[in-house]
Amino acid sequence: MRAPVESKAVFVSRRCYERLLAVYPEGHRREYGLPMAQLFRDQCRDAWRESRSWGLVTLWLRVLPDLVKTSVLEHLSAMKARKSMVEKISEITNVNPAPLRTFFTVFIAVFLLVFGTSAIVTFLLPGSFQSTVRVKVERNASTSAGQNESPAASSGYDPYFFQTEFEVIRSGVVLGNVIEALDLNAKWGKRYAGGEKLKTPETITLLKGRMDLRAVRNTSSNSLTHRTKKSVKLKSR
Amino acid sequence: MATKRIDPEDLLPLTPAVFHVLLALADGERHGYAIMQEVAEHTAGRIKMGPGTLYGTIKRLIEARLIEESDERPDPHLDDERRRYYRLSGLGQRVVQAEARRYAEMVKVARGKKLIGRPAAAVQT
């Protein structure tokens, strides 16, 4: 029996469908592409015979969703068919893949949990600033020997010299001057006390908590580090 | 290595698409277009399978060894083009019979509850 004469509309529909078969995975297309195109052509001929162009339109309205849905399913099926890394490892090592799979799953889950938590916390935490100043500290040469000084100090070396200087820097007198110069009572009152001006002892306590005084090794310098949420100018005594 | 004998009951229930394709092949081998036509006829035009659904189902049935490809030849009623013919395997035959029995039992229960009437021949005494 000879093939029936095809109308142009059927011919165009068939060609379009053959192009659309490209959405299927290669393996599926190679195996079933030709029969699928044949079936669609037969359906086009039936639709044209029944209702001409309107028949073709209704056929396309039925076939297009079918094409989209089944191509996705075939791609998912093709992905599942490819061996997973765990299965390849178990084949090589001759080990039961189930514990390996569990290990990788737990490892990835823990990694993601730690990474995710760190990222979230990092982005949620407010920014902080830190400034460090180094101060060269030397003994005052005009200090007269023997007056309220330890025997070691009178000989030129005082092991308590830096500690003494640290306490002087941390004293209420020095910090009070800093607080007054930078108006920290008012500024920190706005930030931490709901706008109410802080008292100087309260501000000193806050300032001491943010200061870090250290001696720089092998030098006669101190480093003074201050941490804050905003940049603050530090002034030396 | 001997293949494990599969119990047809283990594969039940079948999806509608699978059942219709197996039913269409129950009385002989068919090509894809003929399967599609027979399904449309069984369901009074309610189910018209697209090429994607039909050949996706055929692919899975071949993988499950419920059907097999018989040969490729033209259909004398259509045109000269060669078409792939499919037929039920032994397992496929047993599976579709098991599913048909399952449906028959469900219909029996539905009739007992008067949800559906008896066929005309059974009503006449």
Instruction: In whole angstroms, give the CA distance from residue A163 to residue A137.
Output: 12
The pLDDT score that the predictor gives to residue B124 is: 47
Nearest beta carbon to residue B79 from set A1, A36, A70: A1
**Contacts (Cβ under 8 Å, ≥6 apart) of A170:** A208, A211, A213
Instruction: In whole angstroms, give the CA distance from residue A151 to residue B49.
Output: 106
The pLDDT score that the predictor gives to residue A42 is: 92
Greatest Cα pair distance, chain B, in angstroms, is 57
Q: Say yes or no: B48 contacts chain A, CB-CB below 8 A.
A: yes
Higher pLDDT, A209 or A140: A209
The three-state (H, E, C) secondary structure of chain A, written as one string: CCCCCCCHHHHHHHHHHHHHHHHCCHHHHHHHHHHHHHHHHHHHHHHHHHHHHHHHHHHHHHHHHHHHHHHHHHHHHHHHHCCCHHHHHHHHHCCCHHHHHHHHHHHHHHHHHHHHHHHHHHHHCCCCEEEEEEEECCCCCCCCCCCCCCHHHHCCCCCCHHHHHHHHHCCHHHHHHHHHHHCHHHHHHHHHCCCCCCCHHHHHHHHHHCEEEEECCCCCEEEEEEEECCCCCCCCC
Q: How many CB atoms lie within 10 A of CB B19?
A: 20
How confident is the model over A199-223, as a mean pLDDT? Answer: 83
CA distance A118 to chain B (A): 46
The pLDDT score that the predictor gives to residue A3 is: 52
Instruction: In whole angstroms, give the CA distance from residue A225 to residue A152.
Output: 30
Q: Say yes or no: B46 contacts chain A, CB-CB below 8 A.
A: no
The three-state (H, E, C) secondary structure of chain B, written as one string: CCCCCCCHHHHCCCCHHHHHHHHHCCCCCEEHHHHHHHHHHHCCCCCCCCHHHHHHHHHHHHHCCCEEEEEEEECCCCCCCEEEEEEECHHHHHHHHHHHHHHHHHHHHHHHCCCCCCCHHHHCC
Task: Examine residue B13 and say whether the peptide bond preceding it is cis (omega within 30 degrees of 0).
Answer: yes
How confident is the model over B1-16, as a mean pLDDT? Answer: 78
Q: Say yes or no: A30 contacts chain B, CB-CB below 8 A.
A: no
The yes-or-no verdict on residue B18 having pLDDT over 60 is yes
> Which chain B residues are within 8 Å of A36, Cβ to Cβ?
51-52, 55
Instruction: In whole angstroms, give the CA distance from residue B44 to residue B42.
Output: 6
Nearest beta carbon to residue B36 from set A39, A67, A70: A39
The pLDDT score that the predictor gives to residue A162 is: 78
CA distance A37 to chain B (A): 8
Instruction: Check CB contact under 8 Å for A66 and B50.
Output: yes
The yes-or-no verdict on residue B125 having pLDDT over 50 is no
The yes-or-no verdict on residue A237 having pLDDT over 70 is no
- Residue A59's closest chain B neighbor by CA? B50
The yes-or-no verdict on residue A230 having pLDDT over 80 is no
The pLDDT score that the predictor gives to residue A233 is: 53
Instruction: In whole angstroms, give the CA distance from residue A27 to residue A45.
Output: 28
Nearest beta carbon to residue A73 from set B33, B56, B83: B56
Contact status, residue A137 vs residue A221, Cβ threshold 8 Å: yes
How confident is the model over B97-120, as a mean pLDDT? Answer: 89
When the pLDDT of each residue in chain B is averaged and rounded to a whole number, the result is 87
Six-digit token string for B122? 């059974």
The lowest-confidence range among A138-147, B57-66, B88-97 is A138-147
Contact status, residue B68 vs residue B122, Cβ threshold 8 Å: no
- Phi, then psi, of A134 in degrees rounded to 5: -110, 130
